[in-house]
Structure 1
Amino acid sequence: MNWNEVIIVTTTEAVDATANLLLEAGAKGTVIEDDWDYASLQDDGSGILKDELPLPAGDQEVLVKAYYPGVDSFPDTLAIIKARMDKMKKIGLNLGKYELRINDIKEEDWEHSWKAFYHPIRITRYLTVVPHWESYQPSQVDEKIIIMDPGMAFGTGTHPTTRLSLEALETTLRGGEKVLDVGTGSGVLSIAAKALGAGTVQAFDIDEIATRQAKENIAFNRYAHDVTVEPNNLLEGIENSEADLIVANILAEILILMVEDAWNNLKNGGCFILSGIIHSKREELENSLLQQGFVLEQSKVMGDWHCLICKKEVEQD
């Protein structure tokens, strides 16, 4: 069988939404090519991403590649992709110059086309993401290994929004916490939370592909076996969870919809980690958080991307 390689040229701001769209359209594998990701790995061989490297602006050109079987229905799939990309543009997402390209590739080449881009990567001080087909030995005693199948995108650690979320978890978790992971995608944040000592972790995602992929990735990591994954639209219908920490790596337009529900599901003193916030959306989202009563404890920035760590503080009588 031949395969169709669909390449979409877009921006850092739109890359996650684009990859998700392609997966929903039936892609069997995806690759995100971001020049900054590659540049950040040109170090002394340790594989640790370098904070001091110049980071891209929000309109940095990024390639999102997806792979579809060469079947008769592919033209219909392509029409769906084009229509959904047009819809994203209409709602104001910055797609940059936006180009869509198609290549035919042979059966024996397609798997290599995306696997060649993924190798073990040290994401934070303690966390290393390892593709499930790679052998890897930790370089230090306290290194935490997260085994992932990166073929289905949704966030594997290298994108700034995911890395910021992982750094925030590493900063915040102390052990034993109850964590809610909203919009879990690949499940990487839930797995990381368990690696960092969280007690109970519940993951939610509205997308059926994401929940299935999250469960598969969790199964690669025995220490995360008790993470639960459920289909749900953000935190709708979830009440009084008394969570210690809620983490969400989603677009700011979606994050703003869950501020009140996050407040209601956190215990007093609990933390709310929000990532996926492009610079132009930060002020609006921060104002919504402050109006709800959250206290901004810390912010992290990579290029045009922001991550906020907030705390629920209610004065006791």
Structure 2
Amino acid sequence: MKWSEISIHTTNEAIEPISNILHEAGASGVVIEDPFDLTKEREDQFGEIYQLDPKDYPVEGVIIKAYLPVNSFLGETVDGIKEAINGLILHNIDIGLNKVSISEVNEEEWATAWKKYYHPVKISERFTIVPTWEEYTPVNSDELIIELDPGMAFGTGTHPTTVMCIQALERTVQRGDQIIDVGTGSGVLSIAAAMLGASEISAFDLDQVAVTTAKMNIKLNKVQNTVNVSQKNLLDGVEGMVDGIVANILAEVIVRFTDDAARIVKKGGYFIASGIIQQKKQDVKDALNKSGFEIQETLLMEDWVALIARRV
């Protein structure tokens, strides 16, 4: 089979929404070429440092790549992707150069080319994300290993927004907690919560492809008895009370359901929100406060923000 590589030259701010657009268009995963990765310092306790080739990265901005099958609908799919990206301007998201290019690759190249970007990465005190095809020996006896295959998952679990969510989960999840994961994507946050001792996790995503992907990753990590994945728009129709909510999605989406979150999170329970760019931080804080949450901690990584809030 022939595949088409779509490459988008954009900004860090636009990584999450454009990745989501590509995912919804049928891409099984994305590759992000960010020149910041060439120079950023990694603390010893987090991250496996490996050699990167500067020729693979743009001088400025970031390049997002995804792969789509070459078929009779490819032209319409690409046009839809371009239109959706241009629409991000309406949400005050900087899309930068927004240069979109298309090239053709064969299946063998597509199936293996992106693997050079993905290695075992220790993202917190306890968690390490490991690609399924690599051997990895735990460094500590209490280390928690999450296996992911970006060939079937949306994202690798190592983006700053995901890393901060997992670190926030480490600080808040208590054994036996009931949690909702809104916009689960690859399911990585639900997997982490289950490994931390949560007894029941409901993982929601509006995209059926994401639901299927999350179920596969959850089964891969043997937490299918704890995590239930279903197709749902945010918290629509959700009843009952839970100990916490985690959501790694756009700030513009988070502010739309803070009232619903306050309705179902127990007093003293938590709301972990990520996927927030610096410019939108105060908007999310204001929405959470107005709905009855109190901001307890703000996590920062690169240009991204995550919030830990408590229901008062």
Q: CA deviation at 1:229?
A: 0.4
Q: What one-letter code is carried by the residue in structure 1 that aligns with 2:259?
A: E
SS at 1:17 equivalent = helix
> Measured at CA, do residues 225 and 61 of structure 1 come closer, stay the same or move farther in structure 2, by a change above 3 Å?
farther
Identity over aligned residues, as a percent? 44
SS at 1:14 equivalent = helix
Contact 2:161 2:248 in 1 (8 A): yes
Contact 1:30 1:151 in 2 (8 A): no
Post-superposition Cα deviations, 1:187-215, rounded to whole Å, max 9, x if no partner, equal 00000001111111110111111111100
Which is further off, 253-262 or 64-73?
A: 64-73
Q: Distance in 1 between matches of 2:37 and 2:197?
A: 28
Q: Distance in 2 between matches of 1:64 and 1:232?
A: 27
Counterpart mapping for 1:32-181 below 5 A: 32-37=32-37, 39-40=39-40, 47-48=47-48, 61-152=61-152, 154-181=154-181
Provide the residue aligned with 2:3 in structure 1. Answer: 3
Q: What one-letter code is carried by the residue in structure 1 that aligns with 2:245?
A: I
User: Is residue 266 of structure 1 aligned with residue 265 of structure 2?
Assistant: yes
Root-mean-square deviation (CA, aligned residues, Å) is: 2.0
Post-superposition Cα deviations, 1:130-174, rounded to whole Å, max 9, x if no partner, equal 112222221110100001122355343221111111110011113
Q: Distance in 1 between matches of 2:91 and 2:276?
A: 16
Provide the residue aligned with 2:205 in structure 1. Answer: 205
Q: What one-letter code is carried by the residue in structure 2 that aligns with 1:135?
A: E
> TM-score of the superposition, structure 1-length normalised?
0.89
Q: Distance in 1 between matches of 2:43 and 2:269?
A: 37
Provide the residue aligned with 2:187 in structure 1. Answer: 187
Contact 2:9 2:64 in 1 (8 A): yes
Post-superposition Cα deviations, 1:197-236, rounded to whole Å, max 9, x if no partner, equal 1111110111111111100110110145431001111111
Q: CA deviation at 1:42?
A: 6.3
Contact 1:30 1:152 in 2 (8 A): no
Please list every run of 5 or more consecutive structure 2 residues that lacks an aligned counterpart in the other structure.
50-59
Q: What one-letter code is carried by the residue in structure 2 that aligns with 1:73?
A: F
Q: Distance in 1 between matches of 2:41 and 2:132?
A: 20
> Measured at CA, do residues 119 and 303 of structure 1 come closer, stay the same or move farther in structure 2, by a change above 3 Å?
closer
Post-superposition Cα deviations, 1:66-123, rounded to whole Å, max 9, x if no partner, equal 1112223322221111111122223322111211011222222111121221111111
> TM-score of the superposition, structure 2-length normalised?
0.91
> Measured at CA, do residues 197 and 35 of structure 1 come closer, stay the same or move farther in structure 2, by a change above 3 Å?
farther
Aligned length: 302
Q: CA deviation at 1:257?
A: 0.6
Which is further off, 147-156 or 230-239?
A: 147-156
Q: CA deviation at 1:177?
A: 0.8
Please list every run of 5 or more consecutive structure 1 residues that lacks an aligned counterpart in the other structure.
50-59
Contact 1:129 1:148 in 2 (8 A): yes
